[in-house]
Amino acid sequence: SQQGEEDPQALSIQEGENATMNCSYKTSINNLQWYRQNSGRGLVHLILIRSNEREKHSGRLRVTLDTSKKSSSLLITASRAADTASYFCATEGLNTDKLIFGTGTRLQVFP
């Protein structure tokens, strides 16, 4: 079962533009994480935001978390063709040790 849903399902932009992806989830969480997956490959961890944090930055990535709305967003600034991939949010719930993933956003960045 999927904990989260991501929006949009697919996103196409030009290099240099910003990309914003949104994630909504259903239950209370310890943290929310974002992962990236290149086609047919494993997932790579990008950033983790704890439930008591509202915003976090890492390089060109900015993540926000609104626990009252059970939602998060991932912003990639100044996108590059190499950012083309699928992006997934994953939540670690309260009283659980597993990550539950969303449905993903497929990002295409055109050079």
The bridge status of strand 19-24 relative to strand 43-50 is unpaired
Does 99 help bind another protein (rule: CB under 8 A)? Answer: yes
Does 54 help bind another protein (rule: CB under 8 A)? Answer: no
> What's the CA gap between 8 and 63, in Å, rounded?
16
DSSP 64-111: EEETTTTEEEEEE-S--GGG-EEEEEEEEETT---EEE---EEEEEE-
Max CA-CA distance within the chain?
Answer: 44
Does 111 help bind another protein (rule: CB under 8 A)? Answer: no
**Burial label, 103 (beta-carbon count in 10 A; 0-12, 13-18, 19+):** middle
By CB under 8 A, the count of residues binding another protein is: 26
59-98 binders of another protein (CB under 8 A): 88, 90, 92, 97-98
Q: Nearest approach, Cβ of 43 to another protein (angstroms)?
A: 4
Q: Nearest approach, Cβ of 104 to another protein (angstroms)?
A: 5
Among residues 1, 59, 69, 95, the one that binds another protein under rule CB under 8 A = 1
Residues lying near another protein in the complex (CB under 8 A) are found at: 1-2, 4, 30-31, 33, 35, 40-45, 48, 50, 88, 90, 92, 97-104
